[in-house]
Chains A and B, each alone.
Chain A
Amino acid sequence: DAGITQSPRYKITETGRQVTLMCHQTWSHSYMFWYRQDLGHGLRLIYYSAAADITDKGEVPDGYVVSRSKTENFPLTLESATRSQTSVYFCASSGVEDEQFFGPGTRLTVL
């Protein structure tokens, strides 16, 4: 589990600000994912990536942007944060047909 990290772990921001959440994994996993977790909704997929420079939308992509220039990093950017984006964000990674390993999460509050 120490192989996947997220930063920051906690973030408070204001409506309209841009925020970037970082995710880094040391396993050279091909696949990386971003989920958000909200009470009553479980975990919902925001974006995922099959490899460097390959990304695709998940269930709830609106308001988010991702990039993957390097295999080990998968940052998630909220271009103009809204209160509805207050959530816990989990990054995950997996090799082909392997278990998904989750990062420790980032708790984001948008005021």
Chain B
Amino acid sequence: GENVEQHPSTLSVQEGDSAVIKCTYSDSASNYFPWYKQELGKRPQLIIDIRSNVGEKKDQRIAVTLNKTAKHFSLHITETQPEDSAVYFCAASRPPTGYALNFGKGTSLLVTP
């Protein structure tokens, strides 16, 4: 089955700096790659996603890049703010499993003022 590796497991940055989280996947048939943010005690919430026919996608301070050849994708957060502190999960999914997600183990991001 699909195996998603996520690095780093923890990341500490100063407010205003950029943060990058990287994921690799094993199944070349995977075609949907969402990123979820989970605050302590809360449910995961989608922050951005990308499909395999797109190389990059941006939404304000957040961007995701996908390299299908290397089977890796990355989350970039610019101008980080303390409220960006949370655990971030990458995931990958392939048809025909109805976008059942295989998650990475998460990155705990701490943004210090």
Complex alpha-carbon distance, A40 and B108, angstroms: 12
Q: Which of A40, A41, A96, A99 meets B49, CB within 8 Å?
A: A99
Q: With a CB–CB cut-off of 8 A, which chain A residues contact B6? A: 42
Q: With a CB–CB cut-off of 8 A, which chain A residues contact B97? A: 48, 56
Type the 1/0 row for A45-60, where 1 means its CB is closer than 8 Å to any CB of B.
1001010000010110
Q: 8 Å CB contacts to B: which residues of A49-102?
A: 50, 56, 58-59, 90, 94, 96-100, 102
**Residue contacts A-B, CB under 8 angstroms, 17 given:** A33-B100, A35-B101, A41-B105, A42-B6, A42-B105, A42-B106, A43-B89, A44-B103, A45-B101, A48-B98, A56-B97, A96-B98, A99-B46, A100-B46, A100-B101, A102-B43, A103-B43
B interface residues with partner A (beta carbon < 8 Å): 1, 6, 34, 42-46, 49, 89, 91, 97-106
